[in-house]
C-alpha cells in the first residue's frame, strides 16, 4: 500500500512538472514572434528573441532532467539498493550514530553522481550557448570536490549529533533536533560569508569612490548599518548577476556581484541595494526564519513519527525504528508532497518582493531607478517575460517584471 502511494505521488509530481513546462512552452511560443506591448516597452526585439530561445532551451532541458530524476528516484527507492547498502555499513559499528551518519553522507554522494553529466551539460553547453558560462572545466570539478568536502566536514558531525539525540534525550529527540538544526543555521548565517563563501569566490572591499559613497549614504539614511560592502567575482563562473546582504547585527555585510556592477549605472545599483535593504527594514528575514523554523519542526515531527511506525521503514526494506533510513527516505520523498505547496510559499515571497520594491521606490524618491535596473537585469539575464500563470505560480518566487513595474509605477 505504501509503495503504491509513493508510485502515485511520483507519477503525479512528474506529470505536474511536465504539464507546467508544456503550458509555459506554449505560452512563450505564442508570443515568440511579437512581444506583448508591455513587454516590448521593456526589452528590445533582439534581446526578446534571444530570451525566447533561452527559455525554450531551458524548458526542453528541464523536462529531460525531470524525467531522469524521477526514474532515478524510482530505481533507488524500489530496487532495494538502499537497504542493501545500509546492511554493508551497520556491521562496521553496530548501533553507532557515526556509522549511520557516514551512511547518509555516502548515499548523498552516490546519488549526486548520476546528475553530474546534466550539471555539466547545463553549464558548458546550454549556458555557454547563450553566453552566460564563464567557468572552466577545472573550476567546475574543483567546485564539486569542495562541495563534497564541505558536506563531509560540516554535514557529518551535524548528522552524528542529530542521530545521537535519541540515545541522549529519548523520545523527544526531535524537538532537540529541531533546536540544534535551527541554531546551526543561525550560526551559518554569520560563518558562511567568512569561512565558506571565500572557498569559492573572492570577496574584495568596494573601492573608495562615488559608488561606495552613494551606497553607504543610502545605508545610513535607510537605517541599515552594514559592516562592509564587498564585491564578489561572480563573473568567473557565470554572466548572471545578483546582489545580497548576509549576516546580522555587527556581522552584516553587503555583497555585489561584479557582473551587476558592470551592467548597472550607479543610481540603478543604489536602487537594487535599496530593494535588498527593504527586505531587512520590512522584517522579511525574521518572518522567513520563523516560517522555515515551523516547517523544520513539522519535518522533524514527521520523521520521528515515521521512524517509529511499523509500516514506513519496512515498506522500503529497513527495520522499523531505524532513524537514519527514516531521515533518508523522508529527504528523498518529501518533495513529492511539498511540491504542491510551493505556490503558497511563492505568494508570501512575492508579497515580500512587492514590499521591498515599494521601500526602494520611497528610498530613491521615485520608481525610475529601480525600473531601469530591473529592465536591464531582465535583458542581460534573458528573463522570460511571458510565463504561463500556472508555471509562474509554481516556479517564480518573484513577480514577473511586468507585474513589478505595474506595482512600482501605479499611483498611490
Determine whether 276 is an active site residue: yes
Query: Is residue 357 annotated as a catalytic residue, yes or no?
Result: yes
Would 1 be classed as within a structural domain? yes
CA angle at 222 for the pair 219 and 225, rounded to the nearest 5°: 45
Please identify which of the residues 17, 270, 276, 405 carries the catalytic annotation. Answer: 276
pLDDT band for position 227 (cuts 50, 70, 90): low
pLDDT of residue 309: 93
User: Taking 80 as the threshold, does the pLDDT of residue 162 lie above it?
Assistant: yes
Q: What is the pLDDT of residues 96-108, one digit of tens each?
A: 899 999 999 999 9
pTM for this predicted structure: 0.91
Residue 250 banded pLDDT, cuts 50, 70, 90: low
Query: What pLDDT is attached to residue 411?
Result: 54
Residue 109's pLDDT band (boundaries 50, 70, 90)?
Answer: very high
Confidence of residue 95 (pLDDT cuts 50, 70, 90): confident
Q: How far is CA 76 from the centre of its chain?
A: 24
Q: Is residue 312 part of a domain?
A: yes
Nearest partner of 229 among 215, 218, 249, 239, judged by Cα: 215
Beta-carbon contacts of 102 under 8 Å, excluding residues fewer than 6 positions away, are 89, 156
Task: Tell me the C-alpha distance between 251 and 230, whole Å.
Answer: 13
Give the model confidence (pLDDT) of 59-83 as tens digits.
999 999 999 999 999 999 999 999 9
Q: Could you tell me if residue 403 is inside a domain? A: yes
The 3-state secondary structure of the chain, one letter per residue:
CHHHHHHHHHHHHHHHHHHHHHHHHHHHHHCCCCCCHHHHCCCCHHHHHHHHHHHHHHHHHHHHHHHHHHHHHHHHHHCCHHHHHHHHHHHHCCCCHHHHHHHHHHHHHHHHCCCHHHHHHHHHHHHHHCCCECCCHHHHHHHHHHHHHHHHHHHHHHHHHHHHHHHHHHHHHHHHHHHHHHHHHHHHHHHHHHHHHHHHCCEEECCCCHHHHHHHHHHHHCCCCCCEEEEECHHHCECCCCEEEECCHHHCEEEEEHHHHHHCCHHHHHHHHHHHHHHHHCCHHHHHHHHHHHHHHHHHHHHHHHHHCCCHHHHCCCCCCCHHHHHHHHHHHCHHHHHHHHHHHHHHHHHHHHHHHHHHHHHHCCCHHHHHHHHHHHHHCCCCCCCCHHHHHHHCCCCCHHHHHHHHHCCC
Selecting among 17, 230, 353, 357, the annotated active-site residue is 357
User: How many domains, the chain?
Assistant: 1
**Average of pLDDT values for 290-317?**
94
Q: What is the pLDDT of residues 123-140, one digit of tens each?
A: 999 999 999 999 999 999
In the predicted model, what is the mean pLDDT of residues 23-29?
96
Identify whether 194 is part of a domain: no
- Is 247's pLDDT higher than 80? no
**What is the overall mean pLDDT for the chain?**
92
**What would the pLDDT profile of 376-407 be if each residue is shown by its tens digit?**
999 999 999 999 999 999 999 999 999 999 99
- pLDDT above 80: residue 412: no
CB atoms closer than 10 angstroms to residue 73: 19
pLDDT at 251 over 70: no
The cell for 69 is: 530524476
Whether the predicted pLDDT of 92 surpasses 80: yes
User: Domain range spanning residue 345?
Assistant: 1-79+299-412
Q: How many CA atoms lie within 13 A of 386 on its CB side?
A: 26
Amino acid at each position: 500500500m505504501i509503495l503504491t502511494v509513493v508510485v502515485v505521488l511520483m507519477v503525479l509530481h512528474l506529470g505536474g512538472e511536465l504539464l507546467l513546462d508544456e503550458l509555459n512552452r506554449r505560452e512563450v511560443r505564442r508570443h515568440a514572434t511579437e512581444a506583448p506591448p508591455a513587454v516590448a516597452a521593456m526589452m528590445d526585439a533582439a534581446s526578446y528573441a534571444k530570451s525566447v530561445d533561452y527559455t525554450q532551451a531551458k524548458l526542453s532541458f528541464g523536462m529531460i532532467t525531470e524525467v531522469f530524476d524521477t526514474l532515478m528516484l524510482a530505481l533507488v527507492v524500489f530496487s532495494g539498493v538502499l537497504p542493501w547498502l545500509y546492511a554493508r555499513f551497520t556491521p562496521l559499528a553496530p548501533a553507532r550514530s557515526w556509522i549511520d551518519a557516514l551512511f547518509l553522507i555516502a548515499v548523498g554522494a552516490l546519488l549526486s553522481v548520476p546528475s553530474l553529466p546534466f550539471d555539466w551539460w547545463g553549464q558548458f553547453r546550454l549556458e555557454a550557448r547563450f553566453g552566460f558560462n564563464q567557468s572552466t572545466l577545472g573550476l567546475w570539478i574543483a567546485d564539486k570536490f569542495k562541495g563534497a568536502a564541505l558536506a563531509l566536514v560540516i554535514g557529518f558531525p551535524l548528522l552524528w549529533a542529530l542521530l545521537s539525540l535519541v540515545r541522549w534525550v529519548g523520545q523527544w529527540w526531535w524537538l532537540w533536533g529541531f533546536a540544534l538544526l535551527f541554531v546551526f543555521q543561525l550560526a551559518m548565517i554569520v560563518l558562511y560569508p567568512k569561512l565558506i563563501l571565500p572557498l569559492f569566490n573572492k570577496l574584495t572591499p568596494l573601492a573608495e569612490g562615488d559608488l561606495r559613497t552613494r551606497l553607504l549614504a543610502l545605508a545610513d539614511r535607510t537605517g541599515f548599518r552594514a559592516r562592509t560592502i564587498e564585491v564578489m567575482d561572480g563573473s568567473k563562473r557565470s554572466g548572471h548577476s545578483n546582489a545580497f546582504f548576509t549576516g546580522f547585527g555587527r556581522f552584516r555585510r553587503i555583497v555585489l556581484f561584479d557582473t551587476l556592477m558592470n551592467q548597472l549605472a550607479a543610481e540603478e545599483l543604489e536602487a537594487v541595494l535599496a530593494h535588498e535593504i527593504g527586505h531587512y527594514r520590512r522584517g522579511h528575514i525574521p518572518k522567513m526564519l520563523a516560517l522555515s523554523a515551523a516547517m523544520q519542526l513539522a519535518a522533524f515531527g514527521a520523521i520521528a513519527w515515521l521512524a517509529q511506525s511499523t509500516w514506513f521503514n519496512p515498506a522500503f526494506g529497513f527495520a522499523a525504528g531505524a532513524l537514519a533510513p527514516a531521515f533518508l527516505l523522508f529527504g528523498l520523498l518529501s518533495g513529492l508532497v511539498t511540491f504542491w505547496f510551493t505556490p503558497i510559499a511563492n505568494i508570501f515571497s512575492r508579497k515580500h518582493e512587492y514590499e521591498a520594491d515599494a521601500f526602494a521606490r520611497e528610498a530613491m524618491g521615485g520608481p525610475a531607478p529601480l525600473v531601469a535596473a530591473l529592465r536591464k537585469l531582465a535583458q542581460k539575464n534573458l528573463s522570460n517575460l511571458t510565463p504561463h500563470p500556472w508555471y509562474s505560480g509554481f516556479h517564480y518566487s518573484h513577480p514577473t517584471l511586468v507585474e513589478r513595474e505595474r506595482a512600482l509605477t501605479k499611483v498611490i
